[in-house]
Amino acid sequence: MDSSDTKNTFGIVNLDRMLVSELYPSNLYFSLGGYSSDPKHLPKHGVKRSNSDVIAFRTSTHRMVPSIDLAVEEADAERLFDLRAKAIAAAKAAYPRLPQFPEDVTSVKDYDRILEEQGFASGKRSFSWTKYISGPTASSSGRFEISYGRCGANRSPDFSTTFKGFQNQEDMPHTHPAYQFYRKWNPFHIRPMTIQEYMEMWEDLKEMEQLAKGWKVNGNL
């Protein structure tokens, strides 16, 4: 989505990143993940800045300054609700599809069979890959991990990446092949992959391994 009217819309929305509904993190990501969401929630409180802008908050309290009550005109609210609906529809269209399971299926063996029947990479393709990245600084150095596998009794395996044990991938040197791999595949974080997606990811991983061998701290290959 792209709008030049930044006063009345959210401007440019990048669908490969997590979206926001107002000026605080949205329920949209949870809606895509299958959780409940209130598409008609409105900000009720905010703080006035010196440049006359208002920053909206979910609650009436804020650590730094007193809050003010916000009133949203009906026409503005309808435009906001319409934009949210369009954002959700656009994001779902671009989002990785999910497998469907019958409610009476409870075994891992059956989960994997259904995944394969629907074209998804099952738990049989689980793996874990780790490489230490030496960046120009201590904060940009650490272990980059890639994995695909089932967590506990989950029906589907998930794809994930971590850096230094958590979601610190932006700390990696941005010229490193591992960072480029992360940027491409981050939309699939904590999601199952189709077999086609999995195979493309696997080929990218192998290519990234080769490129990483020639990477220098100054970013040159």
Mark whether 137 and 164 lie in a shared domain: yes
Q: What is the 3-state secondary structure (H, E, C) of the chain?
A: CCCCCCCCCCCCCCCCCCCECCCCECCHHHHHCCCCCCCCCCCCEEEECCCCCEEEECCCCCCCCCCEECCCCHHHHHHHHHHHHHHHHHHHHHCCCCCCCCCCCCCHHHHHHHHHHCCECCHHHCEEEEEEECCCCCCCCEEEEEEEECCCCCCCCEEEEEECCEECHHHCCCCCHHHHHHHHHHHHECECCEHHHHHHHHHHHHHHHHHHHCCCCCCCC
β-pairing verdict for 45-48 and 68-69: antiparallel
Going across the sheet that includes 45-48, the strands are 54-57, 45-48, 68-69
| Same-domain check for residues 120 and 71 | no
Residue 6, sorted as left (phi over 0), alpha (psi -120 to 50) or beta, turns out to be: alpha
Instruction: Look at residue 129 in the predicted model and tell me its pLDDT.
Output: 95
Q: Where among 94, 118, 142 does a domain terminate? A: 94
pTM of the complete model beyond 0.85: no
Q: What pLDDT was estimated at residue 97?
A: 75
Q: Give yes or no: residues 204 and 126 share one domain.
A: yes
Q: Are residues 112 and 89 in the same domain?
A: no
* CB proximity list for 152: less than 8 A, separation 6 or greater: none
3-state secondary structure of 54: strand
Q: How far apart are alpha carbons 130 and 146 in whole angstroms?
A: 6
Q: Same structural domain for residues 117 and 206?
A: yes
Same domain as 122, residue 90: no
- Residues 181-184: contacts with CB within 8 Å, 24+ apart? 181/146, 181/205, 181/208, 182/144
Cα 152 to chain centroid distance, Å, stands at 22
Residue at 7 is within a domain: no
Cβ burial of 47 (10 Å; 0-12, 13-18, 19+) is middle
- Is there a domain that residue 21 lies in? no
pLDDT at 76: 79
Report the pLDDT value the prediction gives residue 78, as an integer from 0 to 100.
Answer: 85
Whether residue 112 sits in one domain with residue 81 = no
Whether 172 and 204 share a structural domain: yes
| Number of domains observed in the structure of the chain | 2
pLDDT at 140: 92
Establish if 20 belongs to a structural domain: no
Which pLDDT belongs to residue 88?
Answer: 72
Query: What local confidence, expressed as pLDDT, does residue 147 receive?
Result: 97
pLDDT averaged over 10-residue windows placed end to end, the chain, 221 residues:
48 43 39 54 64 53 60 80 78 75 92 96 96 91 96 92 93 92 90 93 94 68 42
Is there a single domain that holds both residue 37 and residue 117? Answer: no
Tell me, yes or no, whether 55 lies in a domain: yes
Query: Which residue range(s) make up the domain with 123?
Result: 108-213
How confident is the model at residue 18, as a pLDDT?
38
